[in-house]
Amino acid sequence: MTSRTLLRPTAFVDSPFGHDGKVARLGGGLNWFAAVELIRVDGRARGSVELLPVEGIENLFDDDMAAQWEALTSARGPLQVGERTIRLDQPQVMGIVNVTPDSFSDGGRFADAAAAANAGADMAADGAAILDVGGESTRPGAKPVWEGDEIERVVPVIRQLVGGGSAVSVDTRKADVMTAALEAGARMINDVSALTYDGRSAGVIAASDVPVVLMHHKGAPETMQDDPHYDDVLVEVYLWLEERIAEAEQAGVRRERILIDPGFGFGKNVSHNLELMNGLALFHSLGCPLVVGASRKRTIGALSGEAPVERRLGGSIAFALKAVEQGAQLLRVHDVFETVQALRVWRGLRDQALTPRV
């Protein structure tokens, strides 16, 4: 059994002013933290936890911890999606464009290509930095879609959105769909299987050199919510993503092109999702931009009297703000206008805190 120590930033402060040497900046963003939780891991679960101040903590590091610290405190470079440069020193929004008849979130409202493209254009106008187009539902219980059908769904939408000047990602786990989407103008891949579903996917991404989101999941969509179990969900998801990053790099994907997503709701119950959100800052020590997709998820309904999907906006905003308070760089959401508005208010608060008094 191997042992190591993971670093989770905590004790976030409004401003670094007057705290020289006592706080550190998280990922080059707008968040500073004053303490670190040292999580001792034995195998794939927590053995012990110790909370220490940032000041002087580097004196305790072994090589692994020093590498994590470097990843935690290094700035994330901008995301290049085609001709669009998206800064990651502040949180950004990715709008969800479902071109499916059975999406959990919108009931197939945008299954028609024209309606989906118009919805995406509206999201861009409302402030979405990236539009994520998907043609296969991966909600709990969903069945796989033939790649030919998936291509027919997404390609016309991608072409129209790219033609309108939007930065477009394709949400797929199939290499042929990735290839068709890239030919249509998409310049980012969001793979909910983290390149495990189709053995050719990593090669497509390596050859095209586009950004890719590696998302944690446990099980196939058909069965992933059938009593998922973890000994320690936070540690297990972290180690799994660490392994997937390494395998993607070995396949030729450049690390600076990799983003990670802890996969809320993908093989996780309410307790698992909440634990992941509370511990989210841990994932920054993997050194990749962090994507969070908790919008309208089942956990929100479970915590609010079984509210239906269309009545989960408040909970979605709560999750979004909890994520950016822990440095998440990209929020994948359905309700773009409301989320962008919430982030602008959050940014106003941060800007005020970071304005020196004179």
Tokens matching residue 279: 């511990």
Rg (CA), the chain: 20
- The partner residues of 10 in beta bridges, in order of sequence, read 35
Domain end residue (candidates: 73, 88, 119): 73
**Residue 190 domain flag:** yes
Q: 31 near 77, Cβ under 8 Å? A: no
What's the pLDDT score for residue 110?
61
DSSP 294-305: -TT-HHHHHTTT
Q: Is 55 exposed, middle or buried (0-12, 13-18, 19+ CB in 10 A)?
A: middle
pTM: 0.94
Structure token digits, residue 264: 């809320």
Same-domain pairing of 15 and 121: no
Measured CA to CA in angstroms, residue 86 lies from 31, 90, 199, 251 at distances of 18, 10, 29, 25
Same domain, 285 and 171: yes
pLDDT at 357: 77
Question: How many domains is the chain built from?
Answer: 2
Identify the pLDDT of residue 219: 66
pLDDT value, residue 233: 97
Contact status, residue 165 vs residue 128, Cβ threshold 8 Å: no
Check whether residue 191 and residue 63 sit in a common domain.
Answer: no
What's the confidence (pLDDT) of residue 101? 74
**Per-residue confidence (pLDDT) for residue 44, from 0 to 100:** 87
pLDDT at res. 222: 62
List the one residue out of 73, 92, 58, 59 whose CA is nearest residue 27. 73
**106 and 209 part of one domain:** yes
219 and 178 fall within a common domain: yes
Q: Phi first, then psi: what are they for 120, rounded to 5°?
A: -65, -40
Which of 52, 73, 94 corresponds to the end of one domain?
73
How many Å apart are CA 168 and CA 283, to the nearest integer? 25
The dihedral sign for the CA sequence 274, 330, 98, 172: negative
CA 25 to chain centre: 20
Helix (H) or strand (E) holding 274: helix 270-278
Cα angle 344-350-355, degrees, rounded to a multiple of 5:
125
281 and 9 Cβ atoms separated by less than 8 Å:
yes
- 149 and 52 in a single domain? The answer is no
Same structural domain, 96 and 59: no
CA–CA separation, 92 vs 327, rounded Å? 11
Which residue among the candidates 218, 257, 332, 350 is catalytic per the annotation?
332
pLDDT tens profile 257-304 = 999 999 999 999 999 999 999 999 999 999 999 999 999 999 999 999
The reply to whether 350 belongs to the active site is no
Residue-number span of the structural domain to which 55 is assigned: 3-73
Beta bridge partners of 291: 330
- Domain holding 86: CATH number? 3.20.20.20
Percent of the chain as helix, strand, coil, to the nearest 5? 40, 20, 40
> Does residue 358 fall inside a structural domain?
no
Residue 198 belongs to some domain of the structure: yes
Torsion 144-147-152-153 (CA) sign: positive
Whether 355 is covered by a domain: the verdict is no
The answer to whether residues 157 and 220 belong to one domain is yes
* H or E, element range at 341: helix 336-353
- Taking the C-alpha atoms of residue 106 and residue 100, their distance in angstroms, rounded to an integer, is 9
Assess whether 83 and 212 both reside in one domain: yes
- Comparing CA positions, the residue from 283, 318, 257, 335 lying closest to residue 93 is 335
Would residue 357 show up in a list of annotated catalytic residues for this protein? no
Same domain, 47 and 93: no
Paired strand residues for 86: 79
Query: Among residues 76, 153, 173, 297, which one is catalytic?
Result: 297
Residue 356 lies in a domain: no
83 and 68 within one domain: no
Asked whether residue 357 is assigned to any structural domain, the reply reads no
HSE (CB half, 13 Å, CA atoms) of 37? 17
Question: Does residue 94 sit in the same domain as residue 40?
Answer: no
- Domain end, chosen from 56, 73, 90, is at 73
- pLDDT, tens digit only, all 358 positions of the chain: 579 999 999 999 999 999 999 999 999 999 999 999 999 999 889 999 999 999 999 999 999 999 999 999 999 999 999 999 999 999 999 999 999 875 545 545 666 789 899 999 999 999 999 999 999 977 777 778 899 999 999 999 999 999 999 999 999 999 999 999 999 999 999 999 999 999 999 999 999 999 999 999 986 666 657 678 999 999 999 999 999 999 999 999 999 999 999 999 999 999 999 999 999 999 999 999 999 999 999 999 999 999 999 999 999 999 999 999 999 999 999 999 999 999 999 999 999 999 987 6
Closest CA to 217 of 247, 261, 170: 261
Per-position DSSP letters for 199-222, written without gaps between them: TTHHHHHHHHT--EEEE---S-TT
